[in-house]
Amino acid sequence: MDVITTALAEMLEPLRLAMLFAGVCAGLVIGVIPGIGGLFGMALLIPLSFGLDAYSAIALLLGMSSVTTTSDTIPAVLIGVPGTVGSMATVVDGHALAKRNEAGRALGAAYSASMLGGLFGALVLAISLPLLKPLLLMLRTPDFLAITLLGLSLVALLVGRDPLKGFAAAGAGLILSFVGVDDQTAAHRWTFGQVYLWDGLPLGALFLGLFGIPEVASMMSRRSIAEPGTGVTTGVREGIGDTLREWRLVLQCSGIGALLGALPGVGLSVVSWIAYGFARRRRGDGPAFGEGNIRGVIGPESANNATDGGSLIPTIALGIPGGAGTALLLGALIVHGIVPGPHMLEANASVTVAMIFSLAMANVIGAGLCLGLSRPLSRVATVGSHIIGPIALVFVILGAFQSSASVQDVVVLACFGVVGMLMKAREWPRPALALGFVLGELVERNFFLSWQIFGWSTFLRPSFLLVVLLLAVQILWHLSGRGRRDDTQPSPPPGSVWNAIVVFSIAGFVLLTARALPAEAALFPSITAVFLLLVAAAMLVRVLIQRRACGSGVVPASAAADPVPVRAGGAVVVGIPAFLAGLFLFGPLLSSGLLVAATMRWGGESLARSALGGAMVALVVHLVFDRLISTPWPRSLLETALSALS
């Protein structure tokens, strides 16, 4: 008890509270900017923490890292562009709510869920520290494999109206996750001679393309995200009420976040998609998922804030960080003479209490600040799309560029932007692809590690058997028709023979090219490709059956898919290379400003307002990407010419 009082007294000193507040403010700003997250913030703030005492350093660093996943919801809900990888799943229903004029409600629910999730994570950390060390030491690699397989099985909940398209998308996600240099054999899998692809496709650029670009295109095809004056800014309280009503979901998803956060290699992106899949098990009384169901916001938001608490468990208990962010924190603690490990519960117990306190307080302060800002912020949903659209596009492109500071990042963004728009228009579920992509590498890694360490006995571990049993029950449940979710339609929409051809081509390409790879490197891609072949065959059979039934007049005429925003989509896709050309000719500031000013002028704004808008955006880009992040831009022609003159 003395330890707790001592730690609380230390943390409540004005300087430390000020540091906590400063950390929270920094974290909120970093969370809002697409492409950068808590890890970046940690690298930025750690040098500042050297001059502080240990408690103030903890307050600053944990204050920052705990709330990036609170404010990242703001761009996710308002413009459909995730602020960090933690809010990618929130986009799906959060932005749909904004389009239904319920931005305030979505933000209210997201912040309150974030806060409760963060508090729950801190609580789990506090309670479980003495208990979890023996449990963490009991777990073996096959158990991690079982957990990742269980996560992958959630694809079944993300497949949407047409399960075949969903499974095909998940398979494509898995294939994409295998791109890069294979750890087992050092073989290059689909890197096409590009060093850029050695480390795999960048998560940030890929997801900004898949989810951000289609939303920007859809935004540009409307006058604004929501209709002005229709209660956009109200509903914050209703959102909080939704979170409280869904307290079970909050607790369940916070638990998922805290537990998965403690496992090695499981990042925010995995946690939020798994929580989203979990939330989709039950529709509640809202609309279908993907159309603005509040559970789709509450689930991932409560999970991603709980992850921080979870990821600190192995760091504190074992002295082994769970991820890159906690590794940096560990380094900062060591500078202050605090060596994580068993001492954290003995001699350094007050430091541990201070960490838990910082985590909890930061979540409360962060959510409080965001709630205070949510009314004015949700007005963004009513700003004209000719203003907000180009601004969103600039930040999506510059955010994608942060993945590895390469022009190729923008190429990946553009390619997956097109894929994302096509998938959206043709009703292919992008969440299934996302889950496949984030889990593919983990499943493969844990399988090969288990196989090398345990051999066949991998499959006899109780955890593995339990997961197989659970999957069997799940399949039987669905086959018996009792597990059919209420947001799926009894009969899938009519398929097209082109869908089968696309899936068949992907599978064929992978199978043919995998023949040149060593057996271990080819194993998982080949299994996935065979699975895709089966899906393609099932699609083909279904088309044939439907055509025959159509001939006899049984099947109703097909419902039209979402119209493709061809003009806006084309403009956005052309906008990316145009911006890139501007980047090389004039540098990032002028090209950002010009893109925004030109689109505003084209949308009917006066020349002065357009120029002012462009200049403001250039200023923000400069402050954020030059001053704060110091992005390594390619040298522009203008810069070269000016330096030659001087």
Question: Interface with another protein by CB under 8 A: which residues?
Answer: 39-40, 42-43, 46-47, 50, 136-141, 181, 183-186, 195-196, 198-199, 264-265, 314, 318, 320-321, 324-325, 327-328, 331, 334-335, 339, 404-406, 445, 448-449, 452-453, 587, 589-590, 593, 606-609, 611-612, 614-616, 618-619, 622, 626, 630-632, 635, 638-639, 642-643
Q: Closer to another protein by CB, 101 or 408: give it.
A: 408
Which CB atom, from 39 or from 297, has the smaller least distance to another protein?
Answer: 39
The H-assigned helical ranges of 139-267 are 141-153, 155-158, 163-177, 203-207, 213-220, 236-245, 247-261
Query: For residue 95, what are its two tokens?
Result: 């932005």
Q: Pick the closest to residue 405 from 189, 629, 593, 72 (CA basis).
A: 629
**521 within 8 A of 183, measured Cβ to Cβ:** no
Q: Which two tokens stand for residue 233?
A: 């800014």
Nearer to another protein, 199 or 562 (CB): 199
Q: Kindly tell me which of 132 and 288 has the beta carbon lying closer to another protein.
A: 132
What is the chain's alpha carbon radius of gyration, rounded to the nearest angstrom?
25
Half-sphere exposure (Cβ direction) of 272: Cα atoms closer than 13 Å: 31
Q: Which is nearer to another protein, 230 or 452 (CB)?
A: 452
Residues 307 and 257: beta-carbon distance below 8 Å: yes
Q: What residues contact residue 91 under an 8 Å CB cut-off, 6+ apart?
A: 76, 77, 80, 81, 82, 211, 215
**In the complex, minimum distance from the CB of residue 465 to another protein, in angstroms, rounded to a whole number:** 19
Nearer to another protein, 399 or 587 (CB): 587
> How far is residue 159's CA from residue 488's CA, in Å, rounded to a whole number?
9
Nearer of residues 347 and 574 to another protein, judged by Cβ: 347
Q: In the complex, what is the shortest distance from the CB of residue 613 to another protein, in angstroms, rounded to a whole number?
A: 9
Instruction: Compute the distance between CA of residue 230 and CA of residue 452 in angstroms, rounded to an integer.
Output: 60
Q: Judge residue 534's burial from the number of C-beta atoms within 10 Å of its C-beta, 0-12 exposed, 13-18 middle, 19 or more buried.
A: middle
Is residue 71 within 8 A of residue 205, CB to CB? The reply is no
How near is the Cβ of 531 to another protein at its closest, in Å? Answer: 22
Residue 632 Cβ vs another protein, minimum distance, rounded to whole Å: 4
The percent of the chain in helix, strand and coil, each rounded to the nearest 5, is 75, 0, 25
- The CB-of-335 to another protein minimum distance in angstroms stands at 5
Q: Which is nearer to another protein, 42 or 396 (CB)?
A: 42
**What gap in Å lies between CA 166 and CA 172, rounded to an integer?**
10
For the CB of residue 410, give the shortest distance to another protein in the complex, in Å: 15
Q: How far is the CB of 165 from another protein (least distance, A)?
A: 32
CA distance 579 to 590: 10
Least distance (Å) between residue 317 CB and another protein = 10
In the complex, the smallest distance separating the C-beta of residue 407 from another protein, rounded to whole angstroms, is: 12
Residue with tokens 């900004």: 208
Nearer to another protein, 43 or 574 (CB): 43
